[in-house]
Amino acid sequence: MMRRLSAQMSGAGLGIAAISYVAVDYMRYVSPAWHSRLQPVLWSALILAVLTRVPFYKHWSKELRAALPFLASVVFLLGALLFEALCVRSVTAVLGLDWHRETSPLPDTGQWFLLALNESLPETIVSILRAHIITLHHFLMLFVMLAFSVAFDSVKPPGLGLGARYIFTMGLGRLLRAITFISTILPSARPWCASARFKNVPSHPHQWAQKYYTPYAKDPSAIRQLLHWDTAYADQGNYIGDYRADWGAMSFLSEFLRPSYSEGSSWFALLKKAGGGCNDLLYSGHMLVAVLTAMAWTEAYGGFSSAMIWLLVAHSAQREIRERHHYTVDCVVAIYVGVLLWKMTGFVWSDKRKTKQAEKLEKIQKRLVHAAKDSDMEAVRRIVEEMEASLGEEKQSGVVSKRTMTVFACATVFTTLGIVVIALTLTSDG
């Protein structure tokens, strides 16, 4: 009874901590003075709560087994983010700034619907819908809180296993997203974006676009002829060339990134300026993170707070559309892609998999049942001896010194906290 009550209190504590974090951070808009006082207190309380529980955590062996998949997932995510950054810059630069200035946004029924709601709903409700209640770094922090809650027995261990699944799924989602938005170039819902953020991108299109897109873009008869001949028949004369940066072995990227002379010193520095790009990037990366956080929370924790997380996902989606960061289709696709990817990658969470020892014990159990049915006591004795010997070997091979486990625990906690600080810093602007 007391154990069940303790579990309920620790579970309720996670939900309260999550809601408190979002509420305190939103106070930066309501009362900056109180926000500056309460935020350090809340952060300190959360960190101290984790640090005080770490010495009593009993599942470090599970965390150790999950460490390698976690690190592999981090490497995979970094690779996916690098590929995505290359695609973002390329898809923004390929048609030139003139195309961004002249191309109108796509008609979006979701934007129309929200504008209609503004006219019919009470002003208080509209103000709540417009409020910046939750952004990207909030969803990341909510997942971090969920993963660290293994120390309070609110979530099944290992926390690194849950983190590995989350990071791997996010990396897979970002990789599929980059492949999706680079396949067909869509105009931004904010036509001024490219001129404001990518001032050094050439105004003219890339040579491929000059040959395969520009001559046929606005002439229906030219498109009909293109379909008939199935070849780029238009003669464009001399193509306008681009500056080629000298990036050593990476100079081939200049063909896709189209740097100017003033920004061509480093390809990596060029990618850091890409940000979210200035095309419509189908599907929304922000919504992917939000949905993965909600899925992880629902599956690993559940309860009333999971419903609150999904409400925050819905609020974030309508704000993405309302503020024209994305079209409605980007948010809709991100939601079902996030759900399906999370369901598909369940194998990554090591708590869901059978260990070799469990598989071996299951085989021995079947042999015992068969021997018992045949009343073969000699076979039962041999199987029991085999099981004892096997367990002894497993125990001996699985022994890890206390000092090694302590070093691993400290390294895990402080490295994870460091990653959290870096992630929150890089995403603090939403």
State the pLDDT at residue 356: 56
Neighbours of 313 (CB within 10 A): 22
State the pLDDT at residue 112: 95
State the pLDDT at residue 339: 95
Q: In whole angstroms, give the CA distance from residue 326 to residue 297.
A: 25
Which residue positions in the chain have pLDDT lower than 50? 1-9, 350-352, 394, 396-399, 428-430
φ, ψ for residue 423 (rounded to 5)?
-65, -45
- Range 351-381 burial, b when 16+ CB lie within 10 A, else e: beeeeeeeebbeebeeeeeebeeeeeeeebe
Q: In whole angstroms, give the CA distance from residue 166 to residue 158.
A: 13
Compute CA distances 24 → 16, 17, 40, 313, whole Å. 12, 10, 10, 18
How confident is the model over 108-145, as pLDDT tens digits?
999 999 999 999 999 999 999 999 988 888 899 899 88
What pTM was estimated for this model as a whole?
0.82
Name every residue whose Cβ is closer than 8 Å to that of residue 120 and which is 6 or more positions away in sequence: none
Give residue limits of the domains in the chain.
Answer: 1-206+242-350, 353-397
How confident is the model over 158-195, as pLDDT tens digits?
888 899 999 999 999 999 999 999 999 999 998 888 88
* Residue position matching structure tokens 């699944």: 165
**Two tokens at 426?**
């890089």
State the pLDDT at residue 429: 46
State the pLDDT at residue 83: 93
